[in-house]
Amino acid sequence: MDIESFKIHVGTNPENNRFTFEGIYSNDAGMNEDSIHGDKDKPIPKRPVKYYFAQRHKHPVVFVNTANHAMAEHDNNDRIWKLEYIPWLQNAPVKFGSKNRAEVEKTCKSSVR
């Protein structure tokens, strides 16, 4: 089981939308790097959403930048081809939800049996 989760903080003004990547922020590390776990110390920084797909302010873009799935709001691998995961598709590997980390892990552990 390898689950990464982040939060999207939606503001009243879309320009104030923010991400938090607690323990999984990639900083400036690229795909060849592993064991990157930025943003572990509290308070966790709220990072501005830099890119959106299609409808402005409704589909924020997150980049998986390292071999251990560390993420950021920016692309550290500009020369590497990208895969797009669309969460609203039925078989997407991305799941939108409001469960806390313990609830997500419990769901995954019970489905592995």
Express each pLDDT in 2-21 by its tens digit: 778 888 898 888 889 999 99
Q: How many domains does the chain have?
A: 1
Q: Say if 104 falls within a structural domain.
A: no
CA atoms within 13 A of residue 102's CA, in its CB half-sphere: 0
**Neighbouring residues of 51: CB distance < 8 A, sequence distance ≥ 6:** 60, 61, 73
Q: Is residue 93 part of a domain?
A: no
Domain that holds residue 68: 1-85
Strand, helix or coil for residue 34:
coil
pTM: 0.81
What integer pLDDT is reported at residue 95 of this predicted model?
A: 66
Q: Is the pLDDT of residue 113 over 90?
A: no
Q: What is the pLDDT of residue 60?
A: 87
Q: Tell me, yes or no, whether 109 lies in a domain.
A: no
Q: Give residue-wise pLDDT tens across range 59-109.
A: 889 999 999 899 999 999 999 998 877 766 777 666 667 788 788 888 877
In a domain, 1, yes or no: yes
List pLDDT tens digits, range 27-71.
999 999 989 999 999 999 999 999 887 766 678 899 999 998 999
